[in-house]
Chain A
Amino acid sequence: MALPLGYNLRNLAVRKTTTIMTALGIALTVAVLLAVLALVEGLRTALRVSGHPLQILVTRKASSSELVSVMARANFEQIKVKPGIARSASGEPMASLEMVTLLNLEGVDSPGGMNVTLRGISPAGREMRDRLQLERGRWYAPGRREIVVGKSVALRYPAAKIGGKLQFGKGDWEVVGIMSAGASAVNSEIWGDLFQVASDHNRAEFLSSVLLRAADPVAFSALINDLDADQRLNVSAIPETRYYEKQMIAAAPVQFMGTFVALIMAVGSCFAAMNTMYAAVARRAREIGTLRVLGFSRAGILFSFVVESVLLSMIGGLIGCLLVLPLNNITTGVGSFVTFSEFSFNFRVTPQLMLSGVLFGALMGALGGFFPARSAARKEILNALREI
């Protein structure tokens, strides 16, 4: 059996100043990494809930997003009579023709303006958004220049408040309501009546995309194959969930930079742990010799010092977790490279994330502690006993 953990913990407590300093360095490293992961995790969650598992997004072939897709009204008439489409309570096919474009809005933290998605949408389309809720105000009336803004838009853009006016298309549009839909992309969009939005943009016949809901999973695959194969339509059909997943690429630059910075900091933290542990080994040379005389093996000594270093850095990892905890549920936004519009979501600091932070800390400790521990294990008993 090995040396007791209490032996290592008490040694850490005895030299508390160095322990705290080293742990804080590791804590910062872990915090940087966790902040990035919390952002990615938040985005992933928002995107995951943005799609319905039975819904299919239909765009023109080779269009990477709804924004660059053009869908003729005539095509929609052909699509909505395809077999396998679910029916609404009123017996209508659950198929929504939609128009998507971008608005440039001046934001609190983006004086140059940010692109926000404007969606012209019919009542059928609204029905197909689960958890869609009107938070305040009312829905836009058909045939009028009225819009409802997502709750993240309302928060970030001063002009997008109820009663406010936004100018686009052929004139001013009045904000009449604020909507939300769980953590989904809807929160970052502005919606108006399909006909009004389309005619203001001179696109009454050429809209953007069609959203369909399949009756069941079998019909779902069949519909996708059917649409993809239809030469006359020339459209591509993908699961709505996949469409949003592809937008994870928006997080790639932040993820890359953050991970890069965290890795560089991790190298520094490893050296800090190493330095601390070398000092500990030097100070406890006689103790190491004594343990060997008592019968502890070189391997036992090595293990004990690695454990001590891992414990030290796990304390750092825990502090790092505490540092990022306040980020949880804070709203942020990223520019999406797929839709070219801004997408808001919340940081998510999950228990799994914190666990990986602590493990990341532990890894730094194991790496940094290995060489000092090895030097402790390699000492000859007599030399160790003679030191100080």
Chain B
Amino acid sequence: MPDPIIITRKLRREFIRDQFHVIALEDVDLEVQPAEFVALMGPSGSGKSTLLHLIAAMDRPTSGEIKALGTDLRALSDRQIARWRNQHIGFVFQSFNLIPVLTALENVELPLRLTKLSRKDRLEHARTALELVGLGDRVHHLPRQLSGGQEQRVAIARAIVTDPDIILADEPTGNLDAGSALEVLTLLSRLNKEFSKTVVLVTHDPHAAQFASHTRHLEKGQLLPNSVAV
């Protein structure tokens, strides 16, 4: 078995706000293998997003270890993390988070502006990514000229345009109708199967979880053992 692409050990994240002390994650030991498609399930407030944010190095743990692609994320500076995330992580939000003033193509090109690619190459890559998500004919549309499903596909194109190793999606179908949700899930599954991307999908929809190769459950900040059935 190859080395896990994501490993956490006794990962803990507490939030202290005013008088409240919330333990969002408690002693989470998680391993994800390369090219795995993991569905992360659990009730609202169980710490799913928090875990995803820690893997993406958008947040730092209170204690415990976290390694992704062999890198100890706690050791990196803010600047290094930004670079690392740009190269290795594709993040998909529930609310799409496209830049409203930029066209689909410009949105997808955005992460590539941090690379050394020429403008021509950047646009070519962005176009390819949009074609992959089936929006080759919508490149010059602004986000508000697209449907929710199309917006989320643009967001996925943006997440994969840098050819990252890991795709993290936080309830990507939460704001979509059933049809669009199916398209998005199929797309993530394709990225996993055809391009061997490691995918971690947060969802509380059991149907969505069926697209994954493994499912893990969080409850009150604790990761339930692997053996627990769906």
Do A295 and B58 have beta carbons less than 8 Å apart? no
Q: Which A residue's beta carbon lies closest to that of B79? A: A297
In B80-117, which residues have CB < 8 Å from any A CB?
82-83, 85-87, 91, 93, 95, 97, 99-102, 106, 110-111, 113-114
**CA A150 to CA B178, docked complex, whole Å:** 88
Whether the pair A297, B82 counts as a contact (CB closer than 8 A) is yes
Given the complex of chains A and B, what is the CA–CA distance between A299 and B82 in angstroms? 11
Bound CA span A2–B110, Å: 9
Q: How many residue pairs at the A-B interface have CB separations less than 8 Å?
A: 69
Taking a contact as CB atoms under 8 Å apart, the answer to whether A290 and B82 are in contact is no
14 A-B residue contacts at CB 8 Å?
Answer: A3-B113, A6-B106, A7-B99, A10-B101, A287-B100, A290-B99, A294-B111, A295-B111, A298-B78, A298-B79, A299-B79, A382-B53, A382-B58, A382-B59
Knowing A4-B106, A297-B79, A297-B82 are in contact, say whether A290-B93 is a contact too (CB < 8 A): yes
Q: CB within 8 Å of A: which residues of B?
A: 53, 56, 58-59, 78-79, 82-83, 85-87, 91, 93, 95, 97, 99-102, 106, 110-111, 113-114, 158, 162
Chain A 248-307 interface residues, beta-carbon cutoff 8 Å to B? 286-287, 289-299
How far apart are the CA atoms of A299 and B158 in the complex, in Å? 22
Q: Which residues does chain A contribute within 8 Å of B162, judged by CB atoms?
A: 295
Max count, chain B CB within 10 A of own CB: residue among A290, A297, A385: A290
**Which secondary structure characterizes the binding site on chain A?**
helix
Q: In whole angstroms, how far apart are the Cα atoms of A41 and B164 in the complex? A: 59
Q: A1-B113, A10-B101, A287-B97 are in contact. List 9 more A-B contacts (CB 8 A).
A: A3-B110, A7-B99, A289-B97, A292-B82, A297-B79, A297-B82, A381-B53, A381-B59, A382-B58
**Chain A interface residues (CB < 8 Å from chain B):** 1-4, 6-7, 10-11, 14, 286-287, 289-299, 381-382, 385
Contact of A297 among B78, B101, B106, B113 (CB under 8 A): B78
Cα A299 to Cα B78 in complex, Å, equals: 11
Q: Are A295 and B83 in contact (CB under 8 A)?
A: yes
- Complex CA distance for A10 and B101, rounded to whole angstroms: 6
Chain A min CB distance to B113 (Å): 5
Q: Which A residues are in CB contact (< 8 Å) with B53? A: 381-382
Instruction: Tell me the nearest residue of chain B to A11, going by C-beta.
Output: B101
Give Cα A378 to B219, complex, Å: 32
Whether the Cβ atoms of A293 and B85 lie closer than 8 Å is: yes
Q: Give complex CA distance A6, B58 in Å.
A: 27
Flag if A295 contacts B101 (CB, 8 Å).
Answer: no
Contact (Cβ within 8 A) A2 B58: no
